[in-house]
Amino acid sequence: MRRQRKVRILATLGPSSSTEEMIRKLHEAGADTFRINMSHADHDLMRKLVAMIRSVERQVGRPIGILADLQGPKLRVGKFAAGTVALKAGDTFVLDDDTTPGDATRVHLPHPEILQSVKPGDRLLIDDGKLQLKAVSNDGKAIVAVVVAGTKISDKKGVSLPDTDLPLGALTEKDRRDLDAVLQAEVDWIALSFVQRPEDLAEVRKISRGRAALLSKIEKPQAVARLAEIIEVSDALMVARGDLGVEMPLEAVPGIQKQITRACRKAGKPVVIATQMLESMITAPVPTRAEVSDVSIAVFEGADAIMLSAESAAGDYPVEAVAMMNAIAVQVEKDPNYPSIINAQRSDPEATGADAISLAARQIAETLKLSAIVTYTASGTTGLRAARERPQVPIIALSPVVETARRLSLVWGLHCVVTPDATDLDDMVDRACRITFAEGFGRAGDRVIVTAGVPLRTPGATNMLRIAYIGADGFGGI
């Protein structure tokens, strides 16, 4: 199944999309990778979803990626004697270590790490920012705060601390159990929630040992401040605009989205734009005009993937939401302004032979109007370098490793095909031409450009570039 767009679509599975038939419909509508949210899925459900995705993958004959999204630390207040209390601006309110049910003056905060870290002047945002508090004092056992905005607080509402660097790792005990389960299920990507610092990835990296690629969700100001370091130790990033919009001013989020997207493109790391992209399609068969514009901006910016959350997981129109996102992306990429916008944001290549080969491949393919760039990639590195160039011609990524092809299904522009490794250079050229022909990217007489590492099966050593003709039988020739 050949996509008519280069941006990828990541669709979340949930109550509306937890059958094999629905997963296949979502894939046919445009979903390239599926997300399993471990905040809502138990291990049995996760394993069933993975099995269904793999079944669909066998039916369609195309590699499909699976991303398991770990919940991360959830910070919540305790309970109230009355369930909820009314507050008003200027009121004093205390969050403390007393387990007694709360009232209009105080509530239990079952997180000693917060009590030890909050400083006077720090903000505490309750219930996605609906209640805003500012700390006045803190003795390590009780935070005395003043109500800045909001009207009420109730049981178990979430707490966000945009000004506080918490001494928390990104993994909770639940996350560690979930991580073991999803690695055993052989998912392709692990998404890590509430990353604050590059060190947060160390434990996951140690446990996973390369069995899955790591995606850092950027949803805290502390992560934005250390963006370059986090990109360096991550395999991909997600702009998680929901929590990011709670912890940072809403008006700052679009600029941060562009900052993260461009930084990832420069580094050659995939970036996913997520949250509320087609939110109204949870209950409506068509999106708002503003949502269409939001999706199109991410595509124009050159993001690798755009994500659906509740729209495909719990909405009334999951297939329609994926089809709409696909249609928007296809139309944007046909826009006459699209190539110039993508080109204007292109970064200079790194000073390596592999990057120089990828740059040359793009320039030659575009100058000679070749049918495709065909890149051999065992580890995925060569495919990522080719995608970093954002060429106007299609990229076909050939890999003998099915796990690599599945991971690359999240990457911009890569049409991934699992094929046995080439035996020599002639076989490499023939195989590239045959697959280009068979997959509908080229016809007899067309030319392709082939990149690979020589000697063969040398990871990350892209050093060869060759132009080949597609023969009448689909085989290649110089």
- In this predicted model, what pLDDT tens digit does every residue of 366-414 receive, in sequence order? 999 999 999 999 999 999 999 999 999 999 999 999 999 999 999 999 9
3-state secondary structure of 320: helix
Residue at 215: amino acid letter: L
Catalytic residues: 35, 76, 217, 275
136 near 87, Cβ under 8 Å?
no
Name the H helices within 185-252: 202-208, 221-225, 227-233, 241-247
- CA–CA gap between residue 450 and residue 395 (Å, rounded): 10
pLDDT bin (cut points 50, 70, 90) of residue 359 is very high
Asked whether the predicted pLDDT for residue 475 surpasses 80, the reply is: no
pLDDT, residue 83, reads: 94
386 near 375, Cβ under 8 Å?
yes
76 near 156, Cβ under 8 Å?
yes
- CA–CA gap between residue 417 and residue 399 (Å, rounded): 6
Give how far the C-alpha of residue 458 lies from the chain's centroid of Cα atoms, to the nearest Å. Answer: 28
Written as six digits, the tokens of 80 are 């109230």
User: End-to-end alpha-carbon separation of the chain, Å?
Assistant: 28
The strands making up 131-138's β-sheet, listed across from edge to edge, are: 106-108, 92-96, 142-149, 131-138, 123-126, 159-160
CATH number of 84-160: 2.40.33.10
pLDDT, residue 457, reads: 65
294 near 277, Cβ under 8 Å?
yes
Asked whether the predicted pLDDT for residue 478 surpasses 60, the reply is: no
pLDDT, residue 459, reads: 66
- Cα-based angle 25, 30, 33 (whole degrees, multiple of 5): 95
pLDDT bin (cut points 50, 70, 90) of residue 349 is confident
pLDDT, residue 271, reads: 98
Would the CA dihedral through 229, 233, 237, 240 be positive or negative? negative
Q: What are phi and psi of 400, to 5 degrees?
A: -80, -5
pLDDT, residue 101, reads: 95
pLDDT bin (cut points 50, 70, 90) of residue 452 is confident
Strands (E), 233-353: 236-240, 271-274, 305-308
- CA–CA gap between residue 270 and residue 217 (Å, rounded): 12
* Portion of the chain with pLDDT greater than 70, in percent: 97
Q: CATH 3.40.1380.20 in the chain: give the residue spans.
A: 353-477
Q: CATH 2.40.33.10 in the chain: give the residue spans.
A: 84-160
Pick the CATH number of 353-477 from 3.30.565.10, 3.40.800.20, 3.40.1380.20, 3.40.50.40: 3.40.1380.20
Q: What are phi and psi of 242, to 5 degrees?
A: -65, -65
pLDDT, residue 306, reads: 98
Asked whether the predicted pLDDT for residue 443 surpasses 80, the reply is: yes
Mean pLDDT for the stretch of residues 421-443: 91
- CA–CA gap between residue 15 and residue 256 (Å, rounded): 32
pLDDT bin (cut points 50, 70, 90) of residue 229 is very high
CA atoms within 13 A on the CB side of 476: 24
pLDDT bin (cut points 50, 70, 90) of residue 148 is very high
pLDDT, residue 474, reads: 65
Give domain 8-72+170-337's CATH architecture.
Alpha-Beta Barrel (3.20)
Mean pLDDT for the stretch of residues 352-372: 93
Which whole-number Å values give the CA distances from 161 to 55, 179, 196, 229, 454, in the listed order?
A: 42, 26, 12, 22, 51
3-state secondary structure of 387: helix
67 near 410, Cβ under 8 Å?
yes
* Portion of the chain with pLDDT greater than 90, in percent: 87
pLDDT, residue 476, reads: 62
Asked whether the predicted pLDDT for residue 21 surpasses 80, the reply is: yes
Asked whether the predicted pLDDT for residue 112 surpasses 80, the reply is: yes
H or E element: which one contains 375?
strand 372-376
Quick one: which of 246, 251, 245 has its CA closest to 273?
A: 245
Which whole-number Å values give the CA distances from 91 to 106, 121, 136, 151, 407, in the listed order?
A: 11, 16, 12, 10, 51
- CA–CA gap between residue 47 and residue 348 (Å, rounded): 42
Asked whether the predicted pLDDT for residue 85 surpasses 90, the reply is: yes
Helix orientation angle between 289-301 and 318-334, rounded to the nearest 10 degrees = 50
pLDDT tens-digit profile of 242-270? 999 998 999 999 999 999 999 999 999 99
pLDDT, residue 471, reads: 86
- CA–CA gap between residue 399 and residue 379 (Å, rounded): 8
Written as six digits, the tokens of 281 are 């399609």
pLDDT, residue 449, reads: 97
Average pLDDT, the chain: 94
- CA–CA gap between residue 63 and residue 403 (Å, rounded): 9
Question: Is the preceding peptide bond at 339 cis, omega within 30 degrees of 0?
Answer: no
pLDDT bin (cut points 50, 70, 90) of residue 136 is very high
- Whole-model pTM: value is 0.93
- CA–CA gap between residue 253 and residue 406 (Å, rounded): 30
pLDDT, residue 422, reads: 85
Exposure class string for 41-61: b at 16+ Cβ within 10 A, else e: beeeebbbbbebbeebbeeee
Q: CATH 3.20.20.60 in the chain: give the residue spans.
A: 8-72+170-337
Residue for token digits 């909820």?
A: 84
Residue at 17: amino acid letter: S
Asked whether the predicted pLDDT for residue 139 surpasses 90, the reply is: yes
Residue for token digits 């109730």?
A: 154
- CA–CA gap between residue 357 and residue 336 (Å, rounded): 27
Pairing of strands 142-149, 131-138: antiparallel
Quick one: which of 281, 273, 214 has its CA closest to 240?
A: 273
DSSP state of 340: H
- CA–CA gap between residue 7 and residue 302 (Å, rounded): 8
pLDDT tens-digit profile of 278-334? 999 999 999 999 999 999 999 999 999 999 999 999 999 999 999 999 999 999 999
pLDDT, residue 455, reads: 74
Asked whether the predicted pLDDT for residue 458 surpasses 90, the reply is: no
- CA–CA gap between residue 422 and residue 429 (Å, rounded): 9
Least confident of 41-50, 101-110, 161-170: 161-170
Asked whether the predicted pLDDT for residue 464 surpasses 90, the reply is: no
